[in-house]
Structure 1
Amino acid sequence: MTRNTRGSLVRPFSLPDSASTPVVTPLSPSVVYASETPDALDAQYEGRVHGYTYAREGHPNADVVSQRLDAMEGGQGGLLTGSGMAAVSAVLLGLVKAGDHVIGGNQLYGRSMRMMAEDLPRLGVATTLADPCDAADMAAAIRPETRLMLIEVVSNPTLRVADLEGIAALCKAHGILLVIDNTFTTPKAIRPFDYGADIVLHSVTKLLSGHSDVTLGYVVARDPEVMQRLRIFAVTTGLTPSPFDCWLAERGMLTFDLRFDRAQATAAVLADHLAGLAGVKRVLYPLRDDHPDRDRAMALLKGQGCNMLSFELDGGRPAANAFARAAEGIAFAPTLGDVGTTLSHPASSSHRALSPEARAAAGLSEGFFRVSVGLEEPEALKSIFSQAVSAARAAS
Structure 2
Amino acid sequence: MKFDGFETRAIHAGQEPDAGTGAVVVPIYQTSTYAQDGVGGLRQGYEYSRTANPTRTALEECLAALESGARGLAFASGMAAEDTLLRTVLSPGDHIIIPGDAYGGTFRLISKVVERWGVSWDAVDQTDVEAVRAAMRPETKVVWTETPTNPLLGITDIETVARIAHDGGALHVVDNTFASPYLQQPLTLGADVVVHSTTKYVGGHSDVVGGALIVADAELGERLAFHQNTMGAVAGPFDAWLTLRGVKTLGVRMDRHSENAERVVAALEGHPAVRRVYYPGLDSHPGHKIAERQMRAFGGMVSFELRDGEKAALELCERTKVFTLGESLGGVESLIEHPGRMTHASTAGSALEVPADLVRISVGIESGDDLVADLEQALEG
Residues 155 and 351 (structure 1 numbering): CA distance in 2 closer, same or farther, change over 3 Å? same
Question: For the residues of structure 2 that align with 1:39 and 1:341, how far apart are their CA atoms?
Answer: 50
Question: For the residues of structure 1 that align with 2:337 and 2:355, how far apart are their CA atoms?
Answer: 13
Deviation of 1:356 after TM superposition, in Å, equals 4.0
Question: For the residues of structure 2 that align with 1:284 and 1:263, how far apart are their CA atoms?
Answer: 16
Question: Residue in 1 aligned with 2:85?
Answer: 91
Q: Deviations over 1:106-130 (max 9, x none)?
A: 2211110112222111111111111
In structure 1, stretches of 5+ residues that fail to align are 1-16, 45-49, 392-396
Residues 244 and 19 (structure 1 numbering): CA distance in 2 closer, same or farther, change over 3 Å? closer
- Name whichever of 146-155 and 311-320 sits farther off: 311-320
Question: Residue in 1 aligned with 2:50?
Answer: 56
Residues 358 and 126 (structure 1 numbering): CA distance in 2 closer, same or farther, change over 3 Å? closer
Alignment of 1:228-239 (within 5 A): 228-239=222-233
Residues 19 and 201 (structure 1 numbering): CA distance in 2 closer, same or farther, change over 3 Å? closer
- The answer on 1:355 being equivalent to 2:344 is no
Alignment of 1:1-396 (within 5 A): 20-41=21-42, 50-302=44-296, 304-356=297-349, 358-359=351-352, 364-391=354-381
8 Å contact from structure 2 (residues 265, 277) kept in 1: yes
Deviation of 1:152 after TM superposition, in Å, equals 1.0
Question: For the residues of structure 2 that align with 1:177 and 1:324, how far apart are their CA atoms?
Answer: 39
8 Å contact from structure 2 (residues 325, 336) kept in 1: yes
SS of structure 1 residue aligned to 2:22: coil
Question: For the residues of structure 1 that align with 2:33 and 2:185, how far apart are their CA atoms?
Answer: 35
TM-score (normalised: structure 2): 0.92
Higher gyration radius (CA): 1
Deviation of 1:214 after TM superposition, in Å, equals 0.8
8 Å contact from structure 2 (residues 63, 214) kept in 1: no
8 Å contact from structure 2 (residues 310, 358) kept in 1: no
SS of structure 2 residue aligned to 1:212: coil
Q: Deviations over 1:80-128 (max 9, x none)?
A: 0111111111111121111111111122111101122221111111111
Question: For the residues of structure 2 that align with 1:317 and 1:129, how far apart are their CA atoms?
Answer: 25
SS of structure 2 residue aligned to 1:282: strand
Residues 20 and 92 (structure 1 numbering): CA distance in 2 closer, same or farther, change over 3 Å? closer
Q: Deviations over 1:158-179 (max 9, x none)?
A: 0010122221111221221101
What residue identity is the alignment partner of 1:358?
A
What residue identity is the alignment partner of 1:26?
P
Question: For the residues of structure 1 that align with 2:97 and 2:78, how far apart are their CA atoms?
Answer: 19
8 Å contact from structure 2 (residues 187, 215) kept in 1: no
What residue identity is the alignment partner of 2:213?
V
What residue identity is the alignment partner of 2:249?
T
Q: Deviations over 1:53-91 (max 9, x none)?
A: 111101011111111111110012211011111111111
Q: Deviations over 1:356-384 (max 9, x none)?
A: 46355xxx222211111111111111110
8 Å contact from structure 1 (residues 341, 375) kept in 2: yes
Q: Deviations over 1:319-360 (max 9, x none)?
A: 123212210121111111111111121101111012246355
Question: For the residues of structure 1 that align with 2:262 and 2:242, how far apart are their CA atoms?
Answer: 29
Question: For the residues of structure 1 that align with 2:327 and 2:359, how far apart are their CA atoms?
Answer: 11
SS of structure 1 residue aligned to 2:266: helix
Deviation of 1:144 after TM superposition, in Å, equals 1.0
8 Å contact from structure 1 (residues 99, 145) kept in 2: yes
Residues 88 and 159 (structure 1 numbering): CA distance in 2 closer, same or farther, change over 3 Å? same
What residue identity is the alignment partner of 2:41?
A
Deviation of 1:52 after TM superposition, in Å, equals 1.0
Question: For the residues of structure 2 that align with 1:172 and 1:209, how far apart are their CA atoms?
Answer: 32
What residue identity is the alignment partner of 2:379?
V
Residues 317 and 118 (structure 1 numbering): CA distance in 2 closer, same or farther, change over 3 Å? same
8 Å contact from structure 2 (residues 78, 212) kept in 1: yes
SS of structure 2 residue aligned to 1:369: strand
- Structure 1 runs of 4+ aligned residues shifted over 6 Å read none
SS of structure 2 residue aligned to 1:260: helix
RMSD across aligned C-alpha pairs, in angstroms? 1.6
Question: For the residues of structure 2 that align with 1:171 and 1:85, how far apart are their CA atoms?
Answer: 23
In structure 2, stretches of 5+ residues that fail to align are 1-17
Matched residues, number: 364
Deviation of 1:131 after TM superposition, in Å, equals 1.5
Question: Residue in 2 aligned with 1:12?
Answer: none
Question: For the residues of structure 2 that align with 1:72 and 1:336, how far apart are their CA atoms?
Answer: 20
